Amino acid sequence: MKKVPYRFFLTEDQMPRQWYNLRADMKEQPDPMLNPQTGKPATEEDLYPVFCKELARQELDSTTRYIDIPEPILEMYRIYRPSPLIRAYNLEKALGTPARIYYKFEGNNTSGSHKLNSAIAQAYYAKEQGLTSLTTETGAGQWGTALAEACAYYHLPLTVYMVKGSYNQKPFRKAIIQTFGADVIPSPSDTTNAGRAILAEHPDTTGSLGCAISEAVEKAVTTEGCRYVLGSVLNQVLLHQSIIGLESKKAMELLDEYPDIIIGCAGGGSNLGGLIAPFMQDKLLGKADPRIVAVEPASCPSLTRGKYAYDYCDTGKITPMARMYTLGCGFIPSANHAGGLRYHGMSPILSKLYHDGYMEAVSVEQTKVFEAAVMFSKLETILPAPESSHAIRAAIDEALKCKETGEAKTILFGLTGTGYFDMTAYTSFLEGNMSDYIPTDEDLKRGFDGLPSIPGIQ
Amino acid sequence: MKKVPYRFFLTEDQMPRQWYNLRADMKEQPDPMLNPQTGKPATEEDLYPVFCKELARQELDSTTRYIDIPEPILEMYRIYRPSPLIRAYNLEKALGTPARIYYKFEGNNTSGSHKLNSAIAQAYYAKEQGLTSLTTETGAGQWGTALAEACAYYHLPLTVYMVKGSYNQKPFRKAIIQTFGADVIPSPSDTTNAGRAILAEHPDTTGSLGCAISEAVEKAVTTEGCRYVLGSVLNQVLLHQSIIGLESKKAMELLDEYPDIIIGCAGGGSNLGGLIAPFMQDKLLGKADPRIVAVEPASCPSLTRGKYAYDYCDTGKITPMARMYTLGCGFIPSANHAGGLRYHGMSPILSKLYHDGYMEAVSVEQTKVFEAAVMFSKLETILPAPESSHAIRAAIDEALKCKETGEAKTILFGLTGTGYFDMTAYTSFLEGNMSDYIPTDEDLKRGFDGLPSIPGIQ
């Protein structure tokens, strides 16, 4: 086998020019989104008040296998893509594993994460439609940063509802979003009915993604020329994020490699869904059979301990309902430094694939995650985001299993971003002040009790 | 001319395997460092108490043109190098300039800067010599982070004296250095004679690089098995940083380009000296005649308003004396957010080249710098460090001149790092609270009055 470089970049002309729509190859489709008013499958028109038209179309398109990436989006991609596929030689050596560990590093842009891939697309389509402003939510802050970058480029005013815990823990993350010109509001806030309702019930809450989504959607549908955009969970987002997997697969082909195990952290599923897309295609078409592993925090275990049920995507129950693995939209996860993984649900596409046995899931505790993060940073000279470090933890665990068995497996994981705005969390870990939290069955039951009842369905 | 990609990477086998020693091609050598005790030129042996042996050798080697990079250092370089050469298409378009703007981006590693290039080399040689600990200073924090990364890798304990202003302004920068396992002490501190002396005279000082150097050197020479390492100014550092210029030149050759203007920010000169090295070689050998422009802050203008004189490299006057452009080692610059450029002197090599007319220098005010930084970030999706943004400011100014004259010049500038730990400064700028400070002639006179008197020399 030829010597693999540390960091491998596709050239510009090797970059994918189409996104891949995983649904086109799924044996069974995810159950349709339901209109919360009618309980019927949502139509494109139902989505127009919330999403711009092309994105509503992409959201419901389950048949077009490849979708051309518009040239202006490709232009923007070229500013920070392709991202490198990195061989973790130092990590392999330190672990003494026969496994070959690769990671696709999406942190080399100012959003510090893969989020820019979809932010650019969504801002572009909004601008094309002549919209005059956008709203969104952000948890850890990467999505808010990415969308603020994209909106700055397209001159679109943006309001970001930022989960209050992150807003307070990460003043510099807030500042960078403001640098790109966006308004940042801590959520829950008194600017929306949804926010006011949560505050009345839980005045001291540090918020959640579900709640911030409610506020952002409410603001969008009540403002002329405004739409809402979301950085995860949705089918359209997984579509845009397929660029990660397509680049990874192409790069591995050029290196004569194919992963035996593919690992990604999973909050709403945007990174994982994008990374695995073309490999899952191989699996669905019977061309290969890699293991695909979702890694979630033990504090917010939607796949490993959630229910596969219809639920709202937000806490305020104003979005369409999706069938997905969920902890219940009323579940408010404990403070966890991986803010980007504190979401009650999971992408309907990934939920369906998991339900049908095409992928595995593990949950990990945050102190174990930060152990892996600090080790990784010292060896690979990248300071990983806490979210991304969930994947590192699982990759290390798999590499250590290979050490025991002597198997030289090829492991690919997604390093979704950097941790420069997470130093409070790192300091808390280094000082021994970080605790693990695992919800009790009682905690989960409270969440499940809030699942909607849908006549004839659940 | 062929279409140039946005981001161009050399392949691993195109990467330089030797550093280039600019002194070997200089018509006249910089004046020798002087031993502060004897007033005589410092010998290698004079340097042994402070530097490890190989680095003392490199410091005084003015004849070896190319020095092989040891294989273990190349291995580390491959983890984050080559760095991309980026064509700033979006910036060009926004400016409406016919100029072609390229930048060499050194921020894609966790130190967030070019500093890792020399940190790895210095930690490697220290480890090879069997040293058991290192000390250093850091201003903005990039050098401290880079050296902490390198020391983590080589398992060398490290104490970092961090300029107090940065220590207080950048708690997360401190945290990242600690994450890599180093001790961080705000300077001036009461842990050294030099620190205590400064504190006695200026109890409220926010410190300076010169003072932090004094403390780190004192700590090194009074600790068994310990040496001091410095991230800028020194000849050895410029040698290691030549990797930046060598990669840039090679990449531009492959793109059929050659810069008409090369621009770099200048604090101690490490980035600038590295970036320009092979282009300056062409100039010295009469092969090409690019303009070479150093950009410094108006608040600390060593080249544009300093004296070319022998001075100490530190405030405590314990280092060898070097002939360089200096504001006087007692000059304490005003608070300026570009902490990495707050140094009273300038690399002796660059000082000599500037003195002999091989390069130009400009000074810029920080509000103008941040204007450029915010504009750049929105267009190029990279949030630049304040230090690096000095070069952006000058590059934009040159590109605007091209717009006036219609000349399609090729501009290359060094983007030395990212600003993720500088959000306090960005916020201050965005909120309109940033002020410019330009030292008066009186301020400068006080600094010059402290220049050493050396019998027979000055």
pLDDT reported for residue B140: 79
Taking the C-alpha atoms of residue B381 and residue B375, their distance in angstroms, rounded to an integer, is 10
3-state SS of B61-104? CCCCCEEECCHHHHHHHHHHCCCCEEECHHHHHHHCCCCEEEEE
Question: Above 80 in pLDDT, residue A439?
Answer: yes
Residue A2 banded pLDDT, cuts 50, 70, 90: low
B426 to A176: CB separation less than 8 angstroms, yes or no: yes
Which residues in chain B land under pLDDT 70? 1-2, 335-336
Contacts of A401 (CB under 8 A, 6+ apart): none
pLDDT reported for residue A369: 97
Q: Extract the tokens encoding A71.
A: 């040239």
- Using the Cα atoms of residue A302, residue A306, residue A308 and residue A313 in order, give the sign of their dihedral: negative
Q: Extract the tokens encoding B290.
A: 């690019």
- Local structure of B5: helix, strand or coil: coil
For β-strands B307-312 and B18-20, DSSP reports them as: unpaired
Contacts of A245 (CB under 8 A, 6+ apart): A20, A274, A275, A276, A277, A278, A279
Contacting A residues, span 248-307, partner chain B, CB-CB under 8 Å: none
Chain A residues in contact with B380 by the CB 8 A cut-off are 79
A179 to B377: CB separation less than 8 angstroms, yes or no: yes
B116 to A381: CB separation less than 8 angstroms, yes or no: yes
Instruction: For chain A, give the mean pLDDT.
Output: 94
B91 closest CA partner among A128, A145, A153? A153
- Local structure of A67: helix, strand or coil: strand
Contact of B325 with B302, CB cutoff 8 Å: yes
B423 to A377: CB separation less than 8 angstroms, yes or no: no
Q: Extract the tokens encoding A54.
A: 């092309």
B176 to A12: CB separation less than 8 angstroms, yes or no: no
Question: Above 60 in pLDDT, residue A424?
Answer: yes
Residue A165 banded pLDDT, cuts 50, 70, 90: confident
How far, CA to CA in Å, does B72 sit from each of A285, B11, B17, B59, B125?
Answer: 44, 18, 11, 21, 10
What residue has token string 């330190």? Answer: A94
End-to-end CA distance of chain A: 53
A176 to B7: CB separation less than 8 angstroms, yes or no: no
Contact of A246 with A275, CB cutoff 8 Å: no
Taking the C-alpha atoms of residue A115 and residue A105, their distance in angstroms, rounded to an integer, is 12
- Local structure of B244: helix, strand or coil: helix
B339 closest CA partner among B446, B439, B267? B267
A172 to B383: CB separation less than 8 angstroms, yes or no: no
Average pLDDT, stretch A377-401? 96
How far, CA to CA in Å, does B121 sit from each of B109, B176, B230, B238?
Answer: 16, 21, 11, 12
Chain A residues in contact with B7 by the CB 8 A cut-off are 78-80
Q: Among A12, A116, A176, select the one facing B423 at the smallest CB separation.
A: A176
A179 to B108: CB separation less than 8 angstroms, yes or no: no
Q: Among A116, A172, A377, select the one facing B179 at the smallest CB separation.
A: A377
Q: Among A7, A175, A383, select the one facing B427 at the smallest CB separation.
A: A175
A78 to B7: CB separation less than 8 angstroms, yes or no: yes
Interface test with B, best of A110, A177, A247 (most B CBs within 10 A): A110
A79 to B7: CB separation less than 8 angstroms, yes or no: yes
- pLDDT tens column, B130-180: 999 999 999 878 999 999 999 999 999 999 999 998 898 888 889 999 999
- pLDDT tens column, A80-110: 999 999 999 999 999 999 999 999 999 988 8
B79 to A112: CB separation less than 8 angstroms, yes or no: no
**CA quadruple A321, A324, A328, A334: dihedral, nearest 10:** -130
CA distance, residue B148 to nearest chain A CA (Å): 9
Residue B286: DSSP 8-state = T
The greatest distance separating any two alpha carbons of chain A, rounded to the nearest whole angstrom, comes to: 63
Closest-CA residue of chain A to B380: A79
- pLDDT tens column, B194-227: 999 999 999 999 888 878 989 999 999 999 999 9
Q: Extract the tokens encoding A3.
A: 């010597």
Peptide bond into B188 cis (omega under 30): yes
Backbone φ and ψ for B365, nearest 5 degrees, come out as -85, 150
Burial, B289: exposed, middle or buried (Cβ in 10 Å; 0-12, 13-18, 19+)?
Answer: exposed
Burial A42-81, CB ≥16 within 10 A → b, else e: beeebbeebbbbbbbbbbbbeeeeebebeeebbebbbbbb
Length of chain B: 458
Taking the C-alpha atoms of residue B263 and residue A211, their distance in angstroms, rounded to an integer, is 48
Closest-CA residue of chain A to B106: A108
Beta strands, E only, B146-211: 158-163, 183-187
Contact of A231 with A143, CB cutoff 8 Å: yes
Contact of B104 with B411, CB cutoff 8 Å: no
Burial B231-270, CB ≥16 within 10 A → b, else e: bbbbbbbbbbbbbbbbbbbbbbeebebebbbbbbbbbbbb
Chain B residues in contact with A149 by the CB 8 A cut-off are 378, 381
Chain B residues in contact with A178 by the CB 8 A cut-off are 427, 430
Interface confidence (ipTM) of the complex: 0.91
Taking the C-alpha atoms of residue B351 and residue B309, their distance in angstroms, rounded to an integer, is 10
CA atoms within 13 A on the CB side of B385: 29
CA B260 to centroid of chain Cα atoms: 22
Taking the C-alpha atoms of residue A113 and residue A127, their distance in angstroms, rounded to an integer, is 23
How far, CA to CA in Å, does B457 sit from each of A44, A398, B43, B311, B454?
Answer: 83, 66, 18, 12, 5
A149 to B418: CB separation less than 8 angstroms, yes or no: no
Taking the C-alpha atoms of residue A178 and residue A157, their distance in angstroms, rounded to an integer, is 11
Residue A298: DSSP 8-state = T
Average pLDDT, stretch A246-262? 98
Question: Above 80 in pLDDT, residue A1?
Answer: no
pLDDT reported for residue B171: 85
pLDDT reported for residue B2: 57
pLDDT reported for residue A334: 75
Q: Among A11, A108, A180, select the one facing B378 at the smallest CB separation.
A: A180
Burial B392-426, CB ≥16 within 10 A → b, else e: bbbbbbbbeebeeeeeebbbbbbbbbbbbbbbbbb
Peptide bond into B82 cis (omega under 30): yes
Contact of A117 with A244, CB cutoff 8 Å: yes
B146 closest CA partner among B170, B115, B103? B115
A110 to B377: CB separation less than 8 angstroms, yes or no: yes
B435 touches chain A (CB under 8 A): no
pLDDT reported for residue B165: 85
How far, CA to CA in Å, does B47 sit from each of B50, B54, B269, B321?
Answer: 6, 11, 21, 12
pLDDT reported for residue B332: 76
How far, CA to CA in Å, does B321 sit from each of A238, B31, B35, B136, B211?
Answer: 60, 10, 7, 18, 15
Taking the C-alpha atoms of residue B191 and residue B215, their distance in angstroms, rounded to an integer, is 8
Chain A residues in contact with B383 by the CB 8 A cut-off are 110, 176, 179
DSSP string, A313-381: SSTTS-SPEEEEEES-TT--PPP-S-GGG--S---HHHHHHHHTTS-EEEEE-HHHHHHHHHHHHHHHS
For residue A130, the tally of other CB atoms under 10 A from its CB is 8
- pLDDT tens column, A317-375: 888 899 999 999 988 777 667 777 888 999 999 999 999 999 999 999 999 999 999 99
CA distance, residue B16 to nearest chain A CA (Å): 15
Taking the C-alpha atoms of residue A306 and residue A444, their distance in angstroms, rounded to an integer, is 8
CA distance, residue A177 to nearest chain B CA (Å): 10
pLDDT reported for residue A343: 87
A93 touches chain B (CB under 8 A): no
